[in-house]
Amino acid sequence: MGDPLLIILEGLLVGFAVAAPVGPVAVVSIERTLAHGLKAGLAVGLGAAAADTILGALAGFGLTVVADLIEENQAVIRFVGGIVLIVLGIVLILSRAKTKRRDITAADLFHAFTSAFVITISNPITIFAFLAIFAGLGFTEAAATTAQASFLVAGIFLGACLWWLSLSAAISLFRDRVSDRTVAVLKGGAGYLILGFGIYALVSAAF
C-alpha cells in the first residue's frame, strides 16, 4: 500500500461501501431531496460523510484508545442515537401534513447536516466496520504511516460523498414528477421507518 493514488482509491471504495447500505440517513436524504431539492439531500450526505470520515480516521490512524472507549460505551452511544432517531421520526410524522416543497434555507441545510452527522456518529458499529475492512486490506496500525492513513481517510471522504451525490442526484430527477401529497405520504412513511430504527437501537442498547 505504498502508492498514494492506490491508497486514495481503496479509501474511496471503502467510503462508498460503508455509506451505501440503506439506513436511517438514506431515508432522511431521500425525504429531504424530494421535499427541498438536491441541496438538501447533499447536506444530509455531507453530514453523514463527515461523520464517516471521523470514524474512519479513528480507525485509520490506529487510535485504539478511542476505539476501545467507543466499544466500552457502545450501549450508551446506541441509546443516544436511538433517542435522536425517535425524535426525528416523530417530528417527520407530525409535520407530514404541513409538507410543502419550497426552496431550502441556510437553517434547513444546517439542520440537515447536523442531524445526519449525529445519526451517523452515534452508530458505534461503523468504526468496527472500518477496523474490519482495514484489517482485510492489510492496513494495520503497525504497517501504516501517518501519510498513508491520511490518504486513506481522504479517500473515505470522497467515496462517501460520491455515494450521497449519486443518491441525491438520482432522487432529484424524479422530484418534479412527485406531488406534494405524495411527498407528505413518503415523509410520514420515512418518519415511521426512522422511528423503527430508533426503537431497534434502544432495544439493542438494552440487550
What pLDDT sits at residue 144? 59
What pLDDT sits at residue 129? 80
Residues of the chain with pLDDT under 50: none
What pLDDT sits at residue 193? 85
pLDDT tens-digit profile of 57-74? 887 776 556 666 766 777
What pLDDT sits at residue 103? 65
DSSP 19-74: H-S--HHHHHHHHHHHHH-HHHHHHHHHHHHHHHHHHHHHHHTT-HHHHHHHHHTH
What pLDDT sits at residue 166? 93
* Number of other residues whose CB lies within 10 A of the CB of residue 137: 17
The reported pTM is 0.79
**Cβ atoms 122, 27 nearer than 8 A:** no
User: Cα dist. 47→51, 81, 114, 176, 183 in Å?
Assistant: 6, 15, 6, 25, 23
